[in-house]
Amino acid sequence: MAINIIETAERIIAAQDSRTPVDTLIDAASAPTKADAFRVQQEVIRRRVAAGDAVAGFKLGNIAKAMQTKFGVDEPDYGYLLAGQFRPENLPIAADEFIEPYIELEPAFVLKTAVGGPHVTAVDIMAATDFVVPALEIIDSRVRDWNIEIHDTLADCGSSGAVIVGGTPRKLSEVNLADTPGEIRFGGTVKAKGNTSAVYGNPIGALAWLCRRISEYGVGLEAGQLILPGSILAAEKMVPGDRITGHFEGWGEVSFDYTPA
């Protein structure tokens, strides 16, 4: 029994809108493929765009070993980012907007030209990048207790929740993404530390990997999009009442207040 694309997409949208998780998203007995799961994601995005949202970027997730260990998914996921998921820095975000959210720190890439295809290299990514900015990604699974396999998170848009972008853009020549330490703080307490090297050795290479992977679906990255390469550290469960800050050493930071419902 194959995945029911329409029914699964409808269940994801209902869970997102009601903030009520499902116990099981994709039954292993249906012999799912990654292509089937990505088709579910595309149907979710199609419906969101038809309802008035717009595609604004793309994400890669679970590429760092710390993230794979954290959520028990041993390969990367990926998905579209919608304009409606972007939030201003330094403004409140309420706890009742999510189900069970975690926070990640990433160097986000903004593209000046489109890039894609089965033979994309790090050089192509560097040529296509306009600038990079510090970013926090809120991830949030629509599956109860994050009891997910790769097919679940692919269908669920890479478990994306929201994106908060910092206001310190830099050219690639102005940062060292092969070795930039970063941390997440809750209030004044450091909760997690990492380094950009944890993202496939260098996030630039991670985006080349992403392009090659999604080219199998006929998908590429577009000019003007913001692309997340994956978290540099293990995601931290969010706690209402704290100011959450992501900081990159020698570069900049991005913050917001996570408020009770």
C-alpha to C-alpha distance for 103 and 34, rounded to whole angstroms: 25
Residue 73 is predicted with a pLDDT of 67
Angle at alpha carbon of residue 99, lines to 28 and 54, rounded to 5°: 85
Rg of the Cα atoms in the chain: 17
Residue whose pair of structure tokens reads 């380094």 in the numeric block: 195
Domains in the chain: ranges and CATH = 5-259 (3.90.850.10)
C-alpha to C-alpha distance for 259 and 261, rounded to whole angstroms: 6
Q: Which residues of 189-226 are buried (b: 16+ CB within 10 A; e: fewer)?
A: eebbebbbbbbbebbbbbbbbbbebbeeeebebbeebb
Q: CA 231, 107, 78, 101: dihedral to nearest 10 degrees?
A: 50
DSSP string, 63-101: -SHHHHHHHT--S-EEEEEEGGGEE-TTSEEEGGG-SS-
User: Over the stretch 105-120, which tens digit does the pLDDT of each residue have?
Assistant: 999 999 999 999 999 9
Residue 258 Cα to chain centre, angstroms: 18
Interaxial angle between packed helices 34-50 and 5-18, expressed in degrees from 0 to 180 and rounded to the nearest 10: 60
Task: Tell me the Ramachandran region of residue 145: left when phi exceeds 0, alpha when psi lies from -120 to 50, beta otherwise.
Answer: left
pLDDT one digit per residue (tens) for the chain, 261 residues: 578 999 999 999 999 999 999 999 998 888 899 999 999 999 999 999 999 999 999 999 988 676 666 666 678 999 999 999 999 999 999 999 999 999 999 999 999 999 999 999 999 999 999 999 999 999 999 999 999 999 999 999 999 999 999 999 999 999 999 999 999 999 999 999 999 999 999 999 999 999 999 999 999 999 999 999 999 999 999 999 999 999 999 999 999 999 998
- What is this structure's pTM? 0.95
Residue 75 is predicted with a pLDDT of 85
Residue 1 is predicted with a pLDDT of 54
